[in-house]
């Protein structure tokens, strides 16, 4: 998935439901001999329904990694959305309560491309 935007790049994360929902975004730049981590942000205040971040990045193309951790709390229901540059990029919804355990979890991980103009 490609997101074209300007710097600073906006990241908006929303959450709701009866689960603890935490997320992280890492921004990587390809190099001839590997990868360089250019920016990172954690959305870790699970009591806030929304969190935002603006990451300053020079012009160029970057690989973004989105990771989201959902843990059952009240009832296992969850819904989250990550927007990059004002555009919905990852959306998840469901029920993590799939076993008799009191703390069922689910981890989501995906990647996207950010092109900073």
Query: What pLDDT, on the 0 to 100 scale, is given for residue 93?
Result: 97
Query: What pLDDT, on the 0 to 100 scale, is given for residue 15?
Result: 98
CB of 11 closer than 8 Å to CB of 50:
no
CATH entry, 2-116, from 2.40.10, 2.60.60, 3.30.1600, 3.30.70: 2.60.60
Query: What pLDDT, on the 0 to 100 scale, is given for residue 116?
Result: 98
Whole-number Å distance between alpha carbons of 62 and 25 = 12
pTM of the model: 0.94
Residue-wise pLDDT tens digits, 51-95: 999 999 999 999 999 999 999 999 999 999 999 999 999 999 999
Query: What pLDDT, on the 0 to 100 scale, is given for residue 67?
Result: 98
pLDDT reading at 50 higher than 90: yes
Whole-number Å distance between alpha carbons of 24 and 40 = 7
Domain extents in the chain: 2-116
């Amino acid at each position: 998935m490609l997101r074209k935007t300007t710097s600073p790049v906006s990241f908006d994360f929303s959450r709701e439901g009866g689960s603890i929902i935490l997320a992280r975004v890492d921004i990587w730049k390809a190099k001839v001999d590997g990868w360089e981590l250019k920016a990172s942000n954690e959305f870790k205040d699970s009591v806030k329904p929304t969190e935002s971040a603006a990451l300053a990045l020079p012009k160029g193309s970057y690989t973004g990694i989105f990771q989201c951790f959902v843990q059952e709390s009240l009832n296992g229901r969850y819904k989250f959305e990550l927007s990059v540059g004002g555009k919905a990029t990852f959306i998840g919804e469901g029920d993590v309560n799939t076993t008799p355990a009191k703390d069922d979890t689910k981890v989501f991980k995906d990647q996207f491309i950010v092109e900073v103009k």
